[in-house]
Chains A and B, each alone.
Chain A
Amino acid sequence: MAEAQKGWWLGWGASSVSLALSLVSALVLFSVLLVTNGKNPLDTYASIFGSTLGNGFGFSEIFVKMIPILFTAIAVALPARLGLVNVGGEGQLQLGALVAAAAALAAGTGTPSWVGIPITLVAGMVGGALWALVPAILRAKGWLNETISTLLLNYVAIRVVDYFVFGPLRDPSTSNVPQTTKFADGFLWPAFAGRIHLGIVFALVALVLFAVVINRTRWGYEIRAAGSNPLAARRHGLPVTAYVLLVLCAGGAIAGLAGTGEIMAIQGRLRPGFSPSYGYLGFLVAWLAGHRPLRILIMGFLVALIATGGDSLQIDQGLPSSTVSILMALILFMVLADAWRPDRLQDRIQAWLSAKKRGSA
């Protein structure tokens, strides 16, 4: 099909149209639910999109939610290129936050930002990486699949954080409430537009690094090779075991930054339950994106948009908060099903274009 080389933009165009159509079909399905509950769908969608895209603060909030999701998505996508399934983003971000909190509290109040913020970055990455280490070793030795070990450790992580926040790290001055002391200013990540904070820079840097490493370096090439054919990779002498440890720990480290960002920029202290499932949302985004960096950006934005817009469903429309999950699931189904086949769409567009050419010739 010589016509297929027509232009990369054709593939792009088809993908975007396909995505848009998936969104629209999900919205149409969701309308059924709305109508049977006496709501006007157009009204509802106007308020969802109005409160997010049409409103300065709402728009900035999409990005605020996107920051941790980007981190956790990379944490899933990187190991996935090697063929590993990391479901542990939630636990890794909790431990990243914990270690970052401990470091900030230990280092003391006089620390200036140019020292404090790097400390939080390093600590957060160490925390997340450590939490991924055990599953990594278990997988490298062939003892236990990382899907299960990372999943189980998510539940343990929450309790570990609880233990420290109720115990050794508890703030004695705030009346024994389970939270740490407020972090000194030198450690906080500044915000600049609404609540969008420094984390967005780090997240985009991480995404770019991921893209460069996976697509343009030898390591990335070897990782992808080992991912598609582990047996052959081993026979060729690729250090698959080392890569297993590397990608899982690197993934954990990046997930750790998701937690660090939330507490250093948004919360200002460590409290139990600060993450509304960012780990799982990141997992979804990564798989929706086929673990490719640019698509992670797009899907991350989309998922953050829905999660943010969902509030207006409750406040404006009086629908129960659970409706957001329903909407999110419908969109996910449509996108996952690739219902509007971008490849077939692409063929059709091409056929139409060639027919036009022939017609006008």
Chain B
Amino acid sequence: MTGGFLESWLGGAVLTSTPIFYAALGETIVEKAGLINLGVEGTMLVGASVSFAVASSTGSVAAGLLGGMVAGGLFNLLLGPLVIGWRANQLASGLALMFFGMGLSAFYGKPFVGSSLDGLRSFPVPWLSSLPFIGSILFKQDLLVYLMIPAAAGVWYLLSRTAWGLHLRAVGEDRLVAYAAGSRTGLLRHQALFLGGILAGVAGAHLSLAIAHTWTEGLTAGRGFIAVSLVIFAAWSPLRILPGALLFGGTLALQIQLQARGAQVSPFLLDMLPYLVTLVVLVLLRNSSRGRMPEGLKEVFESPREGK
């Protein structure tokens, strides 16, 4: 059962980065459409609580996962009418969505606090898992971890090689032109929100079913906001989300590992690492993300108009 430091750390990093990965992947789709959802935290919480509740009540993890995905998708959609129909400010609306998700998940999840599930178990991939070193890091995880690379590839394909993706990106760059060209901008953006919500729901489900094996209020502990940062980090490219998530997950895992191996560093300083490292790397990689922000998003950040 014992493993070397490196093995243990990297294995932990992969597991920890999974929820952040899915949430960030979902948010990438949303932001490519020119929207920003600061409320991903709320969507993740809804996904986590619903998937746990469904899995608890039905005894089926698959049903739980499905429930979390659907709930996440529907919840994320709430941003649509607010931000698209009523043209409310996106940043504040996202925060409002976060409060809503926090409250709803806590409210409906209450009967499930203090209970536990086996949930999503890890299983070894035959043959690959007996490879030295990388065997235990990469191939003794749960289903959602294994699906990370296919998911990233799938979203990349969707965004860059399908007609739908093309239309979506056009909407994110210049809504007026896209509209003139015949794209149904409102529908497309709602679809992006739904898809993004499904992925955020998966992220939440992984937290409650695979990592924590329980539900408590506020399970996500700020990971939704980290996911939003990661999208910028990855310069809105689905393929870059994975390394970004691993970086963050890696530093999160490092903190615990160092303590478990008796390192003489203050736990508070260690705890700051993930955020500081993300900040530093973002600054170092600034040139590669410059110029990649969807034009539609720029509006949201660069001109918070008076009144609206």
Contact = CB atoms under 8 A, between A and B. Distances in A.
Contact of A152 (B81, B229, B271): B229
A336 B93 contact: yes
A26 to B, nearest CB: 11
B259 to A, nearest CB: 15
A320 B107 CA distance: 7
A290 B308 contact: yes
A180 B230 CA distance: 36
B222 A332 contact: no
B99 A152 contact: no
Interface residues of A, number: 51
B217 A322 contact: yes
Contacts of A156: 272, 275-276
A296 to B, nearest CB: 12
Given A155-B275, A159-B272, A326-B100, A287 B106 contact: no
Interface string B258-273: 0000000010110110
A159 B89 contact: no
B86 A326 contact: no
B33 interface: no
Given A144-B283, A156-B275, A337 B82 contact: yes
Interface in B197-254: 217, 222, 225, 228-229, 232
Contacts of B306: 81, 290-292
Given A83-B302, A151-B225, A322-B103, A143 B286 contact: yes
Most buried by B among A145, A283, A339: A145
A158 to B, nearest CB: 9
B118 to A, nearest CB: 27
B96 A144 contact: no
A325 B88 contact: no
A173 B124 CA distance: 54
Given A147-B301, A156-B275, A228-B303, A323 B229 contact: no
A323 B301 contact: no
A153 B279 contact: yes
Nearest to B105: A322
B91 A329 contact: no
Interface of A: 33, 80-81, 83, 85, 138, 143-145, 147-149, 151-153, 155-156, 159-160, 162-163, 166-167, 227-228, 230, 280, 283-284, 287-288, 290-292, 320-330, 332-333, 336-339
Given A85-B301, A322-B217, 13 more contacts: A33-B107, A83-B304, A148-B229, A148-B282, A159-B268, A160-B272, A163-B266, A287-B95, A287-B304, A323-B103, A325-B102, A329-B97, A337-B86
20 contacts: A83-B303, A143-B283, A144-B282, A144-B283, A152-B275, A159-B271, A228-B303, A228-B305, A283-B92, A287-B92, A287-B95, A291-B304, A292-B306, A322-B105, A326-B104, A332-B92, A333-B100, A336-B82, A336-B92, A337-B88
